[in-house]
Structure 1
Amino acid sequence: MAKIHQTFVCQSCGAVYNRWRGRCEACNGWNTIVEEAPSAPGQSGPAATRPSRNRGRVFPLEGLTGEAKEAPRIPSGIGELDRVTGGGFVRGSVILLGGDPGIGKSTLLMQASAAMAGTGERVAYISGEEAVGQVRLRAERLGLSALPVQLAAETNVEDIVETLSQGRPPALAIIDSIQTMWTETVESAPGTVTQVRSSAQALIRFAKTTGTAVILVGHVTKDGQIAGPRVVEHMVDAVASFEGDQGHHFRILRAVKNRFGPTDEIGVFEMTDAGLSEVPNPSALFLGGR
């Protein structure tokens, strides 16, 4: 029987060590290294779902010339959100959305889900932090409870993928949040670097194979950076940041990374009793007090 070696992973940058240390040499973070159980033999990564074989398959290679089509998009129904994403959600794309707790991420995504569901698209909202009743209370407060958004409270990635694969693939699936998800392929606790990376990989694979646009909500650290390994930011197609001061009514949505659109556009929202409302003329807003 093969000996199982202990693995210690930094929860800030993802650096791996063979023993515990008080300070991470990669990011200089203190007390960020946590022991994680290694994956079971033969159960890590995409190879766990492939049949064993001695040789790979031959795939066709293509040249640079050919017909280039613009990526098909799905309008979200919120103009400021479409501006930041480059015109809507690209089918099969994965967006990582970060922001401070209570800034309005769930409110923005609930409004976008309801707007898309109102056009006849299948939209799924998977909450790993709140119960179904809590999400319904938010929808009622926003006046969106009558729209056909499919809602569930679940954290197991395999169950989520299997459920969303039934019937017509959703046009949009929201995972709130990626730090609460866990997969059976690894034995680490939810929120650890290994679980976040493996769960994101499984959800990205689902998006690419079904054409579903997936939004992953991510926690942020005290420095404003998205928590978890930076490799997740490289895996997704776009990284967006929802910023603002809870003491003020205005919020700004900006794209830090976008493979299908610009990164120099911002969306401005105002937090009201009825949810987030778009600010069509932010120049007049910021210059009004001068």
Structure 2
Amino acid sequence: MAKEKRFYVCQECGYKTVNWMGKCSSCGAWNSFEEKIENNDKIKAKKYIIREEKNPQPITKINSTAKQRLKTNIEELDRVLGGGVVSGSLILLGGAPGIGKSTLILQVASLFSQKHGKTLYMSGEESAQQIKMRAERLNCLNEKLNIFDERDYLILEEHISNNQDYSLIVVDSIQTVHIPELDAAPGNLTQIKKVTNRLLKLAKTTSIPIVLIDMLLKKVN
């Protein structure tokens, strides 16, 4: 019979321990630990993909092409971005709740789709119907602006792998998107790190710029 391994995971930061703790020694959260059971047979059965070997190369041998910056048609935003959006870049738009991040990026996605081709707005905060109501108010309705009402990152990744013709992808917000296989709740540090790393890789491999909306809920001293 397969031996089961029991441990506890903090739902706030993803910290693991073999013993239950009232207060997490990593993030300080109280009563945040949840028991998990891991089957050793499943661990042994995991398959690992061997990546293609890469070797260092002289900088003079690297082929380079000037990255064209894509204008958002919002002058101040283009200025902040250094002249526009670079293909394959990962852009973080952060701020406190309610300051207009989603409104701004919806306008950007609509303008971007008109100029550069269809865009994808992945929403974990609001329903597709709510976003359409805002778009109507902002006069942002556009056939090339696509709304994806989803929170599962793996579904997004599979969709992008099969549809690489987007000019821009928006993820609103990074706190709501999660990878189901991780032993951590959506929005905690473990989920945010993993999702962000995979989004960065997705942007680089597809050359599609991705904008992440980040809700800054805590004061930075």
Q: TM-score, normalised by structure 2?
A: 0.81
Greater share of residues in helix: 2
Compared CA separation, residues 33 and 205, structure 1 to 2 (3 A):
farther
Which residue of the other structure, out of 98, 101, 112, is the alignment partner of 1:116?
112
- What are the residue-to-residue correspondences of 1:126-145 with 2, within 5 Å? 126-145=122-141
* Residue 77 of structure 1, CA deviation: 1.5
Which residue is 2:9 aligned to?
A: 7
* Residue 205 of structure 1, CA deviation: 1.9
* Residue 187 of structure 1, CA deviation: 3.1
Kindly provide the CA deviation profile for residues 162-197 of structure 1, in whole angstroms up to 9, marking residues without a partner as x: 122323431210000111111133132211222222
Unaligned runs of 5+ in 2: none
Which residue of the other structure, out of 51, 55, 58, is the alignment partner of 1:63?
58
Compared CA separation, residues 211 and 33, structure 1 to 2 (3 A):
farther
Compared CA separation, residues 217 and 6, structure 1 to 2 (3 A):
same
Which residue of the other structure, out of 193, 205, 221, is the alignment partner of 1:197?
193
Compared CA separation, residues 216 and 39, structure 1 to 2 (3 A):
farther
Which residue of the other structure, out of 100, 119, 142, is the alignment partner of 2:96?
100
> Which amino acid is 1:22 matched to?
K
**Percent of aligned positions with the same letter in both sequences?**
30
Which residue is 2:163 aligned to?
A: 167
Kindly provide the CA deviation profile for residues 18-56 of structure 1, in whole angstroms up to 9, marking residues without a partner as x: 35353756xxx6536732658887999xxx7843x5xx6
Which residue is 2:150 aligned to?
A: 154
Q: RMSD over aligned Cα, in angstroms?
A: 3.0
CA distance in 1, matches of 2:155, 2:42: 17
Q: Is this contact kept in 1: 2:5–2:37, CA < 8 A?
A: no
Compared CA separation, residues 8 and 168, structure 1 to 2 (3 A):
closer
CA distance in 2, matches of 1:192, 1:7: 12
Secondary structure class of the residue paired with 1:98: strand
Kindly provide the CA deviation profile for residues 3-27 of structure 1, in whole angstroms up to 9, marking residues without a partner as x: 243233754xx7x3635353756xx
Secondary structure class of the residue paired with 2:130: helix
Secondary structure class of the residue paired with 2:32: strand
Which residue is 1:258 aligned to?
A: none
CA distance in 2, matches of 1:162, 1:85: 28
Which residue is 2:23 aligned to?
A: 22
Q: Is this contact kept in 2: 1:181–1:190, CA < 8 A?
A: yes
Compared CA separation, residues 189 and 143, structure 1 to 2 (3 A):
same
Which residue is 1:88 aligned to?
A: 84
CA distance in 1, matches of 2:64, 2:85: 19
Unaligned runs of 5+ in 1: 226-290
Compared CA separation, residues 63 and 81, structure 1 to 2 (3 A):
same
* Residue 78 of structure 1, CA deviation: 1.1
Which residue is 2:173 aligned to?
A: 177
CA distance in 2, matches of 1:220, 1:32: 21
Secondary structure class of the residue paired with 1:221: coil
Which residue is 1:206 aligned to?
A: 202
Which residue of the other structure, out of 75, 86, 96, is the alignment partner of 1:79?
75
CA distance in 1, matches of 2:218, 2:191: 21
CA distance in 2, matches of 1:6, 1:97: 33
* Residue 221 of structure 1, CA deviation: 2.2
Q: How many residues align?
A: 213
CA distance in 1, matches of 2:53, 2:144: 44
Moved more, 139-148 or 34-43: 34-43
